[in-house]
Amino acid sequence: MRHPAAPSTGTTTSVDSDHPAVIAFSAAHARGAGDAERAVALYYAVRDGFRYDPYRIDLSPHGMKASTVLAVGYGWCVTKAALLAAACRAAGIPARLGFADVRNHLSTARLRESLGTDIFYWHGFTEIWIDGAWRKATPAFNVELCERFGLLPLEFNGREDSIYHPFDRQGQRHMEYLAQRGSFDDVPLARMVADFAAYYPGFRQQLGAMQRSDFLADVARETG
């Protein structure tokens, strides 16, 4: 982990900020007078421009790249965080990845059954260096999904951390942060894969069936 005095700005395997598509995306959306405004603009471009789909997790090095999110049009918390970090770095704004273990009370039944738990290990978000401090930004849930799930969309103003709300619109439990795993310049993929194998022993066997399913259809059925 880098000291805040020397925050991360370079390209890495997953945060491939030197990829032409990432550079073009960053240039198109990093609008504003300063780093805070440009980071906020990039946050919303990632949050709402790419749908959240935890059924199509690809834990290969290629599947975890920010540029892959741009190519396929969707991602999950870690890859959307990687895209936001890469877009920020391409715009000259230091950014890195943060991770935490969370309990998600509003995931789908299929996802909970596939994982065998409602605890999500290695939940990912972005940390952006703005005005001398790291600001947390969580671009995972696009606004349309929040509306279907009855969630409050996460906003980001560049001054305060943007992390999941503990409750939904009806006051029901939504997200609990159980443990912080730290900050990284790149996705610690080998550690994630090893922990997923330990914590989700049936996940690999369930992954194919889950990838053939429709996350939004499940959300609509369970919230309808």
pLDDT given at position 6:
44
pLDDT given at position 167:
54
Sheet with 95-104, strands from edge to edge, namely 133-137, 119-130, 95-104, 175-184
Range from 28-32, 75-79, 168-172 carrying the lowest mean pLDDT: 168-172
**What's the CATH number of domain 20-218, 1.10.20, 3.10.620, 2.40.230, 3.40.50?**
3.10.620
Per the DSSP assignment, residues forming a β-bridge with 95 are 128
Place of tokens 């260096």: 129
Q: Is 208 or 12 the better-scoring residue by pLDDT?
A: 12
pLDDT given at position 111:
87
Confidence of residue 129 (pLDDT cuts 50, 70, 90): very high
Confidence of residue 5 (pLDDT cuts 50, 70, 90): very low
Q: What is the pLDDT of residues 158-202, one digit of tens each?
A: 999 998 765 566 666 567 889 999 999 999 999 999 999 999 988
pLDDT given at position 152:
79
Q: Say if strands 95-104 and 175-184 run parallel, antiparallel, or are unpaired.
A: antiparallel
Distance (Å, whole) CA 75 – CA 80: 6
Residue 41: count other Cβ atoms within 10 Å of its Cβ. Answer: 18
Residue 70 predicted with pLDDT over 80? yes
